[in-house]
Structure 1
Amino acid sequence: MTVRPEDVSVDATVFRNVVGHFASGVAVITTAADGERFGTTASAVSSLSMEPPMMLVCLNKSSTTHDAVVKSGVYAINILSEGQAGLAFQFGKRGIDKFEGVEVTEGVLGVPLIDGALATIECVVEETPVGGTHTVFFGRVASAAAYEREPLAYFRGTMGRLERVKEMAAYEGVRDWVLKRRTPLRESLDLAEIAKALRSDEDQVRSAMVKLVTEELVQPTEDGGFVQVPMTRSFLEAAYDGRATIERGVLTGYFEKFTDEDKQFLRDTADRISDLRSKDSSALDEFLALNAQFHNRIVGVTKSAQLTDAFRRLGIGTVWRQALDDDTWQAQLDHTGTLAMAEAITTGDQEAALSALERHTEIGKGLARDALALHGGEI
């Protein structure tokens, strides 16, 4: 059956996930107007043509950097090097002095160029088409320079060295494979099969398995292979307690660090989670993904890669895709704790946020007990 183009659309969460599979560098767009410097982290950056040399960047129309580029008519693309992940986060914030502590050099167009970048490209704006919430700035290249440094790579929400990003992608893919029980429990995990399915390297899959051994999700066998470890009540409750401990620490020590953008994200995500309860059963994957994004955002306010990584490694949300029934998950999954957390954080009520976290944790433990009872005591 042919469908009219105007009748087809993609869910925002699905789109965000798919686009996240595009590996890219990380760039900060800078400019200057009326004696003031502006900058923002941008993901939509690309070369446009070689003759003449042109680049394009897409900036949200709500950003101050967008308005400054419109006013000045010039901008610089700073392609970050591997040690500059902190700058990507810094320039992605709002309401702060983004250039605090940042060494810059003035370019030929009078725009700030970030020292230590992998490459810098200065552009003069030629055209400004609009697409949705963003303006596309076509820029004629006036000056460009590259340096012998390693790139900062971005893939599926992870930034770092290109090889490190590949390793993280393999780890997350293997972990998801195990939690979703794509290989039946107690059967040997076929590393070659997993590597092919994930489009990864078999050595990286093996390295991921070693990490999962430390997480007690898999165990080695005498023949050098790996099998999955059944999840029991004590394991699942320990995972919930561990995540709650981290989130409790964030809500206690970093509560004032939530920006307006963070609060808006949490509020919007909680609303979308609530809306999914009225959708059909096919929305379970989206429901679980949004829950993960919600709690990862809370821990993310610490700007600690180590803490965020530890929190994500305690995540067991994807196992519920295996444990829950498509026809009944909407009745089984209780999202009221998440809604209460979003409300408390956005209104600045720290005690209510901590209370909501405890409620969310207990709800999760209760769900774990119910799921285990339906599956003979282990998943």
Structure 2
Amino acid sequence: MKQAPKKSSAALCATLLAPLALAAASFAAQAQEVVKIGFTGPLSGGQAAYGVDNRDGLLLAVKELNAKGVQVAGKKVTFEVVAQDDGADPRQGVAVAQVLADAKVHYVVGPYNSGVAIPAGRVYNEAGMLMLTVASNPKVTQLGYPRLFRVGVNDAQVGIAMAAYAAKDMKAKNVAVIDDRTAYGQGLVAEFMAEAKRQGMNVVKQEFTTDKATDFTSILTSIRSAKPDAVFYGGYSSQAGPMLRQMVSLGINAKLLGGDGICTTETSRLSGNVADGNVLCTQAGVILGQADAGRAFAAKYKAAYNRDPLTYAVSFYDAAMLLADAMQKTGSTDPGKLSEFLAKGAYQGVAGEYSFTDKHDLKSSPVSVYGFKGGQPQAVASL
């Protein structure tokens, strides 16, 4: 009978070490923690361009964090985005919030819309989740939820800045206002009107529409008769673009003003490319092109997605980086501990410094005024 060939010492060593290697691999897998970050925003419907822009800003940050390798209390952390489409609809937003809560996701970046953030915030709060949102209506942080933070500007800052610019720089005397009846639009118009009156301007017409409307002929005809120097719209590009096109066709010479909701290329595209010289808008944060960090972010974003970032991609990017920074500094992924840290700490992001008031609004949020040139928002002034 032939004897089995003797194993070489190298083969024998490999045989003995194989179980150890498997055990080490198993231990390494156990030592890694997957941190799921929920995303909620309008990935479908008229505001889908914003939702996709925001989601991709978050994904860009997560890709960078995972490539760099983040450790929390000596354990490697891998980040994963769980993206949900809330359709800019309050009911859908609440349903999405429940899905994320049931999936034991502990953090959410969003919602984008105030009308979604207010009712969905209750679900996130009851689930003990940490919520970072750019929703701008003041009521969002007035809810008093301890784990809710606003990482963008609020309506008061945006509306006040636009009214002050209209009075001081445009020398406007008479203004008309329109809101889309969303929490965002109504809040923005309320702040603009209050500051306009403080600045000595007259609000000669106040009209409203919806965030689904496409025909504004009736309200614009009414506004035309009042001969305003400017028309302030509280709403989003999906309505602002067609509204501007109809203003031009009706011979209304007033400029269209608005907040961050219309500060995008979508406004120009949907207007039939007549935004140049006809639109002014305000939005939070530094002007990306005027700071090294901003230019670097814009370049990375365009390289990744072959398009320029819109209004809040940078805020969603910063939100992920803010979370990762807090985890590393606290040595914890517990949303309660992170919330306590964020409430007292400060983080320097691309869009500015993230330090919060007692209500969890940003302590300092610069606001910039934009016009349009070649269909693109172009910085006019920082206020």
TM range (shorter): under 0.3
Larger RCO: 1 or 2 (CA < 8 Å, sep 6+) = 2
Larger Rg: 2
Relative to the length of structure 1, the TM-score reads 0.28
